[in-house]
Amino acid sequence: MMKLSWVWIVIAIAYLQLVTGFLDFNETELSLIEAYDYGVSKLNYYPLMVGLTLITSAGAKGAVCLDGTLPGYHWHRGYGSGANSWLIQLEGGGWCNNVRTCVYRKKTRRGSSTYMEKQIPFTGILSDKAEQNPDFFNWNRVKLRYCDGASFTGDTENKAAKLQFRGQRIWLAAMEDLMSKGMRNAKQALLSGCSAGGLASILHCDEFRNMFPRTSKVKCLSDAGLFLDAVDVSGGRTLRSLYNGVVGLQCFFPQNLISNIRTPLFILNAAYDSWQIQSSIAPPSADPHGYWHECRLNHAKCSASQMRFLQGFRIEMLNAIKGFSQSRENGLFINSCFAHCQTERQDTWFAANSPEIRNKAIAIAVGDWYFDRAGVKVIDCPYPCDKSCHNLVFK
């Protein structure tokens, strides 16, 4: 069943990228949510800076970014007890959904290694400091850069627009390269990702597991990757309309995939996901008169009726994970925050005042689950009960 779903996912995304006229996501607001600056928490003035490594062997395999440049990653080598443990973090950054937006994207760091930062800070789950990242600080930690526009999937091209959609090849080339650099000896491995990278960590989870011996402990973590096929404020379905007419579309939504994943998977999501509020639940296209404008930027300005609508979204999310949560091997952390991507930000991953559920921070919850110290399936009470949230507000 999972193999069949994967085939339809690749077909759907490849087709999606070649068709023009689909709804455009507001990438400006998405970039604010996943902004580079969010990774550099004020709690860490001097984060570890890790250089970009281009995958030189990728070119011969056709594993290239949208513009044909080589893909890359940032790797900080593990040591001590973590020398044979690997954490792969898949970068997020939305999607391009037609030729026009993909052509634009290939002139940015999301579509070309030419524009990628030569160094990036490793914070949160990537931090090298035990006091900031207690369970993974000395692992081999890798951030795989995202430059294909389709969550590391797809394998096609648009010659007329000079676009390469080679996400699946990039994924495989990166894994092969890292295997040659020691990952094949991993005793422990964790595939994680944020947003579009969180979706990718779900899509590639079982594939990642199969790259290692059965004696290796391998699990997956999806941060802010639970994109729902939800009703928007106009009564339509914005995300579904994006893929209208695509064969096998139902397989794309994570809620239809997570119960089929055989590898232990941890779902970390804000119940009021900021990206989904802005781009799926209340996008301008579904709110032409701007009734939701203030609310979608700042939850404190939502009316009582708007908040009821958002509470309904939370309930839909909880219903979507009911089957998934039945597995003893899976983990869950759904906090009632207006946030998006909480693993790479130091202030939300692990700090003195980081978000908690039942006095447990995200980093501790993930570590307890990964190392089997405790079962972790925690769901927050509805907003506004959680005072530990680091809610995002936009201007």
pLDDT, averaged per 10 consecutive residues of the chain (395 residues), comes to 38 33 34 45 74 98 98 98 98 87 95 98 98 98 96 92 95 98 98 96 97 98 94 89 39 77 98 94 96 96 98 97 95 98 97 97 98 98 97 92
CB-based contact 110:149 (threshold 8 Å): yes
Q: What backbone torsions phi and psi does residue 234 show, to the nearest 5 degrees?
A: -95, -5
User: Which candidate in 340, 347, 380, 390 is catalytic?
Assistant: 340
User: Which candidate in 273, 280, 354, 380 is catalytic?
Assistant: 273
195 belongs to the catalytic site: yes
User: Which candidate in 195, 201, 279, 336 is catalytic?
Assistant: 195
On whether residue 209 sits in a domain, the answer given is yes
Q: What backbone torsions phi and psi does residue 63 show, to the nearest 5 degrees?
A: -95, 85
Quick one: which of 301, 376, 334, 113 has its CA closest to 225?
334
DSSP character string of 101-152: HHHHHTTSTTT-GGGS-SEEEE-GGG-S-TTTSTTTTTSEEEEE---SSSTT
On whether residue 290 sits in a domain, the answer given is yes
Q: Identify the residue whose tokens are 């997570």.
A: 258
Q: How many domains does the chain have?
A: 1
pLDDT value at residue 42: 52
Report residue 226 as tokens: 């639970």
pLDDT value at residue 389: 97
Instruction: Output b/e per residue, 9-26; b: 16+ Cβ within 10 A.
Output: bbbbbbbbbbeeebbbbe
Note down the domain range covering 243.
Answer: 43-379
pLDDT value at residue 45: 64
On whether residue 59 sits in a domain, the answer given is yes
On whether residue 74 sits in a domain, the answer given is yes
pLDDT value at residue 395: 84
- In DSSP terms, 193 is beta-bridged to 90, 222
pLDDT value at residue 251: 52
Q: Are strands 85-90 and 188-194 parallel, antiparallel or unpaired?
A: parallel
148 belongs to the catalytic site: no
pLDDT value at residue 5: 39
177 belongs to the catalytic site: no
Quick one: which of 197, 280, 186 has its CA closest to 237?
280
- Taken as a whole, the chain contains a residue count of 395
On whether residue 7 sits in a domain, the answer given is no
pLDDT value at residue 31: 46
In this structure, what CATH number is given to the domain that contains residue 361?
Answer: 3.40.50
Quick one: which of 227, 174, 152, 224 has its CA closest to 194?
224
